[in-house]
């Protein structure tokens, strides 16, 4: 960093602070500060470089735009997303003027605005920008282009955040259809889209459809990733949960027990996902009215969570609560009282 500072100082003295080489050194010096986490210093020098580039080259010059992007990144690093969004919108407007709204660089600039609004906790505003990006990418690149599909995937995620599950379902179904065509039905991105369709149906209460899609996805993941892969077991667990929602408790129990057995084998008996599966088995026994068996499993889960997570962990406390309630329903009130 000392060398960068020295080069910048010498160039400023010999060439003047507005010379292109001096400004390059100033930008390099700012970049080093940014990489080292000295964001305030990086901000000071990058703002100076940007103003000088605007003065000497104009705000539409590619080097000026590069400095503006660097300035935006520093505001993101500082957590000042409002200022970052403001500068990103400025970058987008300059790109529109210089390159046109369908240019790849312009669309990338608009996409950054959307991502920053997500960080600002404003998914509604992010969705508006992302939808515009998608429409323009469809027009400029086609609906099967990777960047277009990535944008469609982002739209689906925003719909889920906004609890627009019907819209999410429609978008995910479209995404899944295109990815089947472009990537094949066994591609990881295609399977992720299929999961999103299933999840959207699940949230909408279309449980039979959701279960059918989870089962389809499970078959593919078994084939592509293997039965013991965490993603495969996640879908098996989702299928079991959906069976419980459909009051198919015996089928749910079979699936939860299978998930538990496979997770024990793949992850070990004390893994958090394994214990979640055992807890799910206990909950399903409650739904089946087999309270004695449920209490035995809750006891086992509580003991293992106590040992691995500690007494005050949320999961440990939840299991203790389930155990206490189950004791109460069994009429074992002394045990219930001790648990509470």
What total number of domains does the chain contain? 1
Whether residue 338 is contained in a domain is answered as no
pLDDT digits (tens, 9 = 90+) for 297-339: 999 999 999 999 999 999 999 999 999 899 888 887 555 445 4
Looking up residue 58, the CATH number of its domain turns out to be 1.25.40.10
Burial track 148-184 (b if 16+ CB lie within 10 A, e otherwise)? bbbbbbbbbbbbbeeebbebbbebbbbbbebbeeebe
pLDDT digits (tens, 9 = 90+) for 46-80: 999 999 999 999 999 999 999 999 999 999 999 99
Whether residue 35 is contained in a domain is answered as yes
CA distances from 306 to 156, 213, 286, 319 (A): 38, 36, 22, 10
Two structure tokens written together for 198: 């299933």
Whether residue 32 is contained in a domain is answered as yes
Model pTM score: 0.81
Q: Which domain holds residue 71?
A: 1-78
pLDDT digits (tens, 9 = 90+) for 217-262: 999 999 999 999 999 999 999 999 999 999 999 999 999 999 999 9
pLDDT digits (tens, 9 = 90+) for 91-146: 999 999 999 999 999 999 999 999 999 999 999 999 999 999 999 999 999 999 99
């Amino acid at each position: 960093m000392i060398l960068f500072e020295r080069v910048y100082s010498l160039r400023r003295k010999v060439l003047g602070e507005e010379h292109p080489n001096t400004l390059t050194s100033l930008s390099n010096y700012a970049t080093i500060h940014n990489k080292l986490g000295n964001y305030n210093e990086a901000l000071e020098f990058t703002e100076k470089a940007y103003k000088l580039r605007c003065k000497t080259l104009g705000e539409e010059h590619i080097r000026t735009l590069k400095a503006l992007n660097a300035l935006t990144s520093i505001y993101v690093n500082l957590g000042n997303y409002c200022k970052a969004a403001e500068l990103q919108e400025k970058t987008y407007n300059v790109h529109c003027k210089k390159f046109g709204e369908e240019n790849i660089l312009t669309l990338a600039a608009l996409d950054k605005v959307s991502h920053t609004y997500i960080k600002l906790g404003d998914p509604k505003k992010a969705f508006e920008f992302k939808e515009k990006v998608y429409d323009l990418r469809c027009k400029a690149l086609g609906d099967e282009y990777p960047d277009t599909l990535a944008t469609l995937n982002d739209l689906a995620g925003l719909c889920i955040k906004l609890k627009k599950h019907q819209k999410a379902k429609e978008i995910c179904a479209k995404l899944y259809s295109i990815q089947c065509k472009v990537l094949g039905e066994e591609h990881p991105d295609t399977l992720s889209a299929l999961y999103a369709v299933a999840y959207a149906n699940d949230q909408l209460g279309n449980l039979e459809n959701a279960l059918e899609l989870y089962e389809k996805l499970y078959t593919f993941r078994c084939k592509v990733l293997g039965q013991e892969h965490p993603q495969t077991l996640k879908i098996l667990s989702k299928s079991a949960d959906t069976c419980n929602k459909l009051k198919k408790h015996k089928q749910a129990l079979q699936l939860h027990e299978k998930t538990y057995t496979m997770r024990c084998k793949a992850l070990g008996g004390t893994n958090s996902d394994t214990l979640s599966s055992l807890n799910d088995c206990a909950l399903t026994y409650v739904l089946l009215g087999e309270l004695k068996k449920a209490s035995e499993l809750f006891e086992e889960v509580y003991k293992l969570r106590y040992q691995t997570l500690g007494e005050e962990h949320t999961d440990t406390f939840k299991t203790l609560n389930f155990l206490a309630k189950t004791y109460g329903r069994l009429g074992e009130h002394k045990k219930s009282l001790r648990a509470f």
